[in-house]
A and B are shown apart, each in its own frame.
Chain A
Amino acid sequence: EVQLLESGGGLVQPGGSLRLSCAASGFTFNNYAMSWVRQAPGKGLEWVSVISASGDSTYYADSVRGRFTIFRDKSKNTLALQMNRLRVEDTAVYYCAKELNGHIYGSFDYWGQGTQVTVSS
């Protein structure tokens, strides 16, 4: 059974940092691109970042580029998102999501339960 379990969310002050993790199991992690998607309170889905199966390619939404870094630990089957210089508008539930077909394409067949990030003073 495919499982994605996020952790690392919490309350942080503006300008602070957090690292989110997503522990993956039930599939061959190294064969699939993975993404982070967020949802601000009462708002729609916003794609944040994606990393290819090999880890060689990464992409970021304009709103987070230069502040967030996505990476994967193949030995631990873990996806991570390092978030620096956090802003109030980064407050959201953050989901990790698995690509359906492995490559960067935009169909996410499995999602984690989400982890709440709150940026507030």
Chain B
Amino acid sequence: QSALTQPASVSGSPGQSITISCTGTSSDVGGYNSVSWYQQHPGRAPKLLIYDVTNRPSGVSNRFSGSKSGNSASLTISGLQAEDEADYYCSSYTSSSTLPYVFGTGTNVTVL
């Protein structure tokens, strides 16, 4: 099972919106509505931002939103803030009988 593909880096200025893509296959992203997104600051544990493609856990800012089309999912960060500078990972459930999850390769977001 290969990792989901994300761009290595994305950058934006404060106040702008950016979008991070996550590309998989019909055996993972395209086949299930179980895409999640995580934010990780250096030296910290990941934090769940989005689950089930579009849902935000309680306490997560509504500046974070998720979507999916075909075998690709996206995370959009609106009103970019300095504190959004971090690594972001997508994940998906998979149809594999031996490996039910797969993470994305990760995207480093820089706030210019």
Contact = CB atoms under 8 A, between A and B. Distances in A.
Interface stretch (A9-17, A55-63, A68-76, A79-87): A55-63
A18 interface: no
A50 B105 contact: no
A107 B60 CA distance: 15
Interface residues of B, number: 27
B103 A46 contact: yes
Secondary structure at chain A's binding surface: helix, strand, loop or mixed?
A: strand
Question: What interface size band does chain A fall in?
Answer: 20 to 34
Contacts of A37: 46, 103
Given A44-B89, A44-B105, A104 B100 contact: yes
Interface string B71-112: 000000000000000010101110000111111111000000
A109 B52 CA distance: 12
A109 B48 contact: yes
Given A107-B36, A107-B48, A60 B98 contact: yes
Secondary structure at chain B's binding surface: helix, strand, loop or mixed?
A: strand
A107 B91 CA distance: 8
Given A105-B34, A107-B52, A45 B98 contact: no
Interface string B28-60: 000000101010100001111001100001000
15 contacts: A37-B103, A45-B89, A59-B98, A62-B1, A100-B51, A106-B91, A106-B92, A106-B93, A106-B100, A107-B51, A108-B38, A109-B51, A111-B47, A113-B45, A114-B45
Given A37-B103, A109-B57, 5 more contacts: A44-B3, A45-B103, A65-B98, A105-B93, A108-B36
